[in-house]
Amino acid sequence: MSYKRPAFRHPDAAINEIGFHQKDYEGALSTLCAGCGHDSISAAIIQACFELSIPPHRIAKISGIGCSSKTPTYFLANSHGFNSVHGRMPSVATGAVMANKDLTYIGVSGDGDTASIGMGQFAHVVRRNLNMVYIVMNNGCYGLTKGQDSATADVGSSGKAGVPTMFSSIDLAGLALELGAGFVARSFSGDKNQLIPLIKAGISHDGFALIDVLSPCVTFNNTKSSTKSYTYVRDHMESTSIADFVPVKKEITASVQPGESKTIEMHDGSKISLSSIAEGWDPKDRLSAINAIHKASLEGEVLTGLLYIDAAQPPVHKLLNTVDAPLNSLQERDLVPSQEALEEINMGFR
Amino acid sequence: MKPTDLKDPEYFHKVVDCQYACPAHTPVPEYIRMIALERYDDAYMINWESNVFPGVLGRTCDRPCEPACRRGRVEEEPVAICRLKRVAADMKGNVRDRIPQGPFPANGKKVALIGGGPASLTVARDLAPLGYEIHLFDEQKAGGGFMRSQIPAFRLPEQVLDEEVNYILDMGVHKHFNTYVSSMKEILAQDYDAVFVGTGAPRGKDLPKLPGRWDAKERVHIGIDWLASVAFEHTEKIGKKVIVVGGGNTAMDCCRTARRLGGTDVKVVVRSPFEEMKASPWEISDAQHEDIPILSCHNPKAFVTENGVLKGMMFQKVEAVYDDNGKRRLVPTDEPEVFIEADDVLLAIGQDNAFPWIEKDLGIEFGEWDMPVVDKVTFQSTLPKVFFGGDAAFGPENVITAVAHGHQAAVSIELFCQQSDVHQRPAPITNLYSQKMGIHEWSYDNGVVSDLRYQVPHANKEITLTNRKLEVELGFDMPTGYKEAMRCLNCDVQTVFQENRCIECDACVDVCPTSCITFTTNGEEDDLRQRLTMPANNPDQDLYVSDVLPTARVMVKDEDVCLHCGLCAERCPTSAWDMQKFLYNVSKASHVCPTEAV
Ligand SMILES: Cc1cc2nc3c(=O)[nH]c(=O)nc-3n(C[C@H](O)[C@H](O)[C@H](O)COP(=O)(O)OP(=O)(O)OC[C@H]3O[C@@H](n4cnc5c(N)ncnc54)[C@H](O)[C@@H]3O)c2cc1C
Ligand SMILES: Cc1ncc(C[n+]2csc(CCOP(=O)(O)OP(=O)(O)O)c2C)c(N)n1
Ligand code: SF4
Ligand code: SF4
Ligand code: SF4
Ligand SMILES: [Mg+2]
């Protein structure tokens, strides 16, 4: 078995604005099962970070436990990383975001890691609007522990074990909307054209961004009777719109697609341009997003694409009114007031 | 685009860049793997089957395979294919018993081979085991042709040549050495069933009209005649100051030989700019390493003599001017003419064919530049029983081309003698089989090493310059040979795609280090090439296109920079990709099916 990827890349491989090759954003060769959807998501993260020209050392990737949570080893080898405890990625991310608000945070989790053991943690990180992209690699099962049903498995769906799921499923995107998230999207590991712009937009969003990515587990949940298989998702995918991410410096040149189109300006000046917008859906209207999700699910379809965005929602550091400098850079002299300042404060109490 | 037709043996053959570029289509990666396994005898025999002279070619081949090598497209330099061939020859044990040994049951046919160079010897090699009675004629005293008379011993030791020539002569070939054939008519009057002309391009070009050419003619030599006379030990010395005129490989052999025969101040003077010299880069650098300056853009004007004694030559400086079509003209500059002193001048400005011994009324047609009219595939002349090959067929080339011609001429002769159509050629022998040994296990080394090309060590020039028979290149030792062999990308291990297995999970696309694979909608080739993950901008390399997949897309693989690393096949959950070894053996005379005896 190959444990190393060859060093050679395509001789015409481009470099990005800061002089890096895509290779500089890669990680170790994956040890996941061949054909696992998670590997495609890793590839999408690599490409998104490369194209956004983020210096690799300014990114931190944080994960919990699961096949999905293993993936940070397989991308961004030159970035910071923390592979934490099952379901505890949000706490570790919270600590990191509090300490250094200047890094780009990519949280990676699974449906088990998030919707079961980590559910409480997930809810709070959404509420607090932590500045991070939270990617759930959602395969409807606990892949790492041999494919037990997870809380996102649909009623009646069955994986390799052949026993249909009895309990109703949790829709993480719907839940995030309910909890007040400012950026909610859903995608499919097998559709990079959709996934990559969403990851870029999620990274650029100032605040919490959830991307729930359907990601088939080829080994335990890619059966004919599963609603998280490659074939099922492909056949039942519907999208809110075609999203294109437009970086700050670029003009929007993409040819206008038929149907209605919209452009959403992000906090940093970049834009999301949406075309072929579905009827009755407005990206800035939380209720319309909730409606669209429910409607699709009643029709047995899987709604993907950007579901909701509020680019102006204040992120955690704004809510807490912290200083501009990252907290981990504050020195004793920044934190301990001078004798005079102390005098002044004390005077105030006299 | 139409789905790629894998039944066409040429599709995968072309992917094996080196083998495809080799005129004799030597299965290069296969013998390189044998070297890595220390199976030197096998490596040698694979070569011997294809190119007949592995020891010779491992030292002297023009190596058209190397510029074609895929490694040169993904890294800086190609695999040292040629010098690995030498490793096989140097390290092998006794292979005599693996070489066909006579006496062979006679088939009653008799063939004359005129000229004893690599082309004729290859015909002999292929036909002797089939029972032909073979008569080989050469004016020299031993076989080998230009390999013996021209290629200097410091590049090709005599014992290496003797060994490989003798493998063939010992098959029971009737040798007629020291025999110049002066009349084709006489040959045809004898009872040969077929005649093969492998007489090379034996006439060196001269500058007969240059002023002073005939005033000191004993010190002005035709390069190839002079080299032959050195090889056969008629010439042992040369003056101290030598000018070699010309910029091809013959010039390089002349100057380096002159250095060994007493020339202390040897210069190569060439008309063209340095970058456009015809000699192989490695031959140029070997000459420069022996302190031989190369003066480019110097056009010969006159020989300068005093009282019948050669003093030197005058040259006019020129510069290259290119017209809109890139065609070059050498235009004199207004710099003064240059005088260069010389005791001897060697003219190495090209060779011509010469067939004074072929009477013009025999039905053997001659065309442009007095060259015989020869079929490019069958090597048959306009007189059906006469075949041409090697330099005699289409002008000077090299040993490996002569060998390739010889194989094909032998096929034709076998067909001709069976009264079959010489155009109905046997198909190449091919085989395609999986290299899978386990889930992620392959029977070839699929890891890709990053090592840069290893340099072949040279003997100390203080010593080699004293003796023209001391070999300069020492060849790789075993460990270096192994490391160089590991640089081979195994291009014959093909990526084979089976669309009915693919679930379009993208795993292969994601893992491929060189971004070869794309799933997209089909289109015309030009359009498709631009829509791939990495645009396929090398039109010499094919696209592998599948049939339509369930999502209405097709799989497109650009063969250009595939590393044959097998990662796509390792990451594919359904084995839609498999790594399969493709063997391709060019058709040989022994592949012609015998016709029923009447
Ligand atoms: C100086 C020099 C260096 C070279 N170095 C290389 C090299 O490093 N690598 C490489 O690949 N190629 C090299 N070549 C080219 C290579 O030698 C030839 O392309 C090759 O040998 C051609 O083979 P052939 O079988 O066609 O004929 P040749 O090898 O030319 O043999 C023809 C033989 O026929 C004989 N002959 C001709 N007419 C008659 C006749 N009428 N009767 C009897 N005998 C006759 C000749 O004496 C000669 O021995 C070199 C050539 C020269 C001149
Ligand atoms: C505290 C704790 N409880 C249980 C486990 C066992 N465990 C490991 S991974 C996993 C589920 C992972 O599922 P998911 O997050 O969906 O990841 P996947 O493997 O499907 O990508 C469980 C229950 C554990 N490692 N730690
Ligand atoms: S078990 Fe499932 S989720 Fe885990 S690596 Fe294998 S395919 Fe992927
Ligand atoms: S063998 Fe497969 S993975 Fe490796 S370079 Fe070729 S196409 Fe890419
Ligand atoms: S890895 Fe295999 S199944 Fe997946 S897309 Fe490639 S060929 Fe198809
Ligand atoms: Mg899971």
d(CA A45, CA A40): 9
Quick one: closest CA in B to A4, which residue? B447
* Cα–chain center distance at B57: 8
Q: Which of B447, B537, B561 has its CB closest to that of A4?
A: B447
CB B572 near ligand 5, within 6 Å:
yes
Segment A100-111, tens digit of pLDDT: 999 999 999 999
d(CA A198, CA A158): 29
Residue A47 contacts B where some CB pair is shorter than 8 Å: no
**The pLDDT value given to residue B370:** 86
Quick one: closest CA in A to B442, which residue? A1
Quick one: closest CA in A to B517, which residue? A10
Angle of CA points A304, A309, A312, to nearest 5°: 165
In three-state secondary structure terms, B591 is helix
Residue B74 contacts A where some CB pair is shorter than 8 Å: yes
Phi, psi of B499 (to 5 degrees): -65, -30
d(CA B443, CA B225): 51
Cβ contact (<8 Å) for A6 and B570? no
**Does residue B241 contact residue B265 with C-beta atoms inside 8 Å?**
yes
Average pLDDT over residues A326-342: 91
Which residues are near ligand 6, the ion (C-beta closer than 5 Å)? A 110-112, 139
Q: What is the CATH number of domain B493-585?
A: 3.30.70.20
CATH 3.90.180.10 matches B9-98+448-485: no
d(CA A309, CA A263): 12
Q: Does this chain's domain B110-202+353-417 share its CATH topology with B493-585?
A: no
Q: Which of A8, A35, A43 has its CB closest to that of B448?
A: A8
**The pLDDT value given to residue A79:** 98
**The pLDDT value given to residue B592:** 85
Query: What length does chain A have?
Result: 350
> In the predicted model, is pLDDT for residue A54 greater than 50?
yes
Cβ contact (<8 Å) for B448 and A35? no
Scanning chain A, the segments in alpha helix (DSSP H) are 37-51, 67-70, 89-99, 111-115, 119-127, 172-178, 192-204, 230-236, 286-298, 316-320, 332-335, 339-349
d(CA B234, CA B251): 20
In three-state secondary structure terms, B159 is helix
d(CA B270, CA B284): 12
Residues with Cβ < 8 Å from A180, sequence gap 6 or more?
A126, A127, A129
**The pLDDT value given to residue B595:** 61
**Does residue B382 contact residue B365 with C-beta atoms inside 8 Å?**
yes
Segment B419-469, tens digit of pLDDT: 999 999 999 999 999 999 988 889 999 999 999 999 999 999 999 999 999
- pLDDT (tens, 9 = 90+) of chain B, 598 residues, equals 999 999 999 999 999 999 999 999 999 999 999 999 999 999 999 999 999 999 999 999 999 999 999 999 999 999 999 999 999 999 999 999 999 988 999 999 999 999 999 999 999 999 999 999 999 999 999 999 999 999 999 999 999 999 999 999 999 999 999 999 999 999 999 999 999 999 999 899 999 999 999 998 999 999 999 999 999 999 999 999 999 999 999 999 999 999 999 999 999 999 999 999 999 999 999 999 999 999 999 999 999 999 989 999 999 999 999 989 889 899 999 999 999 999 999 999 999 888 999 999 999 999 988 899 999 999 999 999 999 999 999 999 999 999 999 999 999 999 999 999 999 999 999 999 999 998 888 999 999 999 999 999 999 999 999 999 999 999 999 999 999 999 999 999 999 999 999 999 999 999 999 999 999 999 999 999 999 999 999 999 999 999 999 999 999 999 999 999 999 999 999 999 999 999 999 989 988 877 654 4
DSSP B45-85: HHHHHHHS-HHHHHHH---THHHH-THHHHSSS---HHHHH
Segment A22-51, tens digit of pLDDT: 999 999 999 999 999 999 999 999 999 999
Best mutation target among B486, B530, B571 (most A Cβ atoms within 10 Å) is B571
**The pLDDT value given to residue B597:** 45
Residue B198 contacts A where some CB pair is shorter than 8 Å: no
> Best of B500, B511, B574 to mutate for ligand 5, by most ligand atoms within 8 A of CB?
B574
**Least confident window among A270-279, A293-302, B53-62, B91-100:** A270-279
**Does residue B554 contact residue B520 with C-beta atoms inside 8 Å?**
yes
A293: alpha, beta or left? (left if phi > 0; alpha if psi -120 to 50)? alpha
State the distance from the centre of ligand 3 to the C-alpha of A176, rounded, in angstroms.
25
d(CA B231, CA A207): 84
Supply the mean pLDDT for chain A.
Answer: 94
- Greater confidence (A322 vs A266) lies with A322
Cβ contact (<8 Å) for A12 and B74? no
What does R_g of chain B's alpha carbons equal in angstroms? 27
A259 band by pLDDT with thresholds 50, 70 and 90: low
DSSP B552: S
CB B507 near ligand 5, within 6 Å:
yes
Cβ contact (<8 Å) for A2 and B440? yes
Scanning A30-171, the segments in alpha helix (DSSP H) are 37-51, 67-70, 89-99, 111-115, 119-127
State the distance from the centre of ligand 3 to the C-alpha of B447, rounded, in angstroms.
25
Residues with Cβ < 8 Å from B382, sequence gap 6 or more?
B363, B364, B365, B373
d(CA B109, CA B593): 16
Kind of pairing, strands A141-142 and A59-63?
A: unpaired
Q: What is the CATH number of domain B110-202+353-417?
A: 3.50.50.60
> Best of B442, B515, B541, B563 to mutate for ligand 4, by most ligand atoms within 8 A of CB?
B563
Cβ contact (<8 Å) for A2 and B566? yes
Domain boundaries, chain B: 9-98+448-485, 110-202+353-417, 205-350, 493-585
Cβ contact (<8 Å) for B513 and A231? no
> In the predicted model, is pLDDT for residue A255 greater than 70?
no
Residues with Cβ < 8 Å from A251, sequence gap 6 or more?
none
d(CA B254, CA B150): 9
Distances (CA, A) of A129 to A205, A267, B392: 11, 14, 83
**The pLDDT value given to residue A2:** 87
Residue B572 contacts A where some CB pair is shorter than 8 Å: yes
Segment A184-202, tens digit of pLDDT: 999 999 999 999 999 999 9
Residue A234 contacts B where some CB pair is shorter than 8 Å: yes
Query: What length does chain B have?
Result: 598
d(CA A296, CA A299): 5
CB B502 near ligand 5, within 6 Å:
yes
Which CATH number is B205-350's, of 3.40.30.10, 3.10.20.880, 3.50.50.60, 3.20.20.80?
3.50.50.60
Scanning A208-259, the segments in alpha helix (DSSP H) are 230-236
Residue A229 contacts B where some CB pair is shorter than 8 Å: no
Phi, psi of B312 (to 5 degrees): 160, -160
Q: Would you call B530 exposed, middle or buried from its count of C-beta atoms within 10 A (0-12, 13-18, 19+)?
A: exposed
Q: Which of A33, A190, A222 has its CB closest to that of B506?
A: A190
Residue A290 contacts B where some CB pair is shorter than 8 Å: no
d(CA B201, CA B351): 6
**Tokens standing for B542?**
């094919």
Residue A86 contacts B where some CB pair is shorter than 8 Å: no
Residue type, B168: I
User: Could you tell me the fold of the domain covering A22-241+277-320?
Assistant: Rossmann fold (3.40.50)
Q: What is the pTM of this model?
A: 0.91
Cα dihedral B60→B62→B66→B67 (10° resolution) = 150
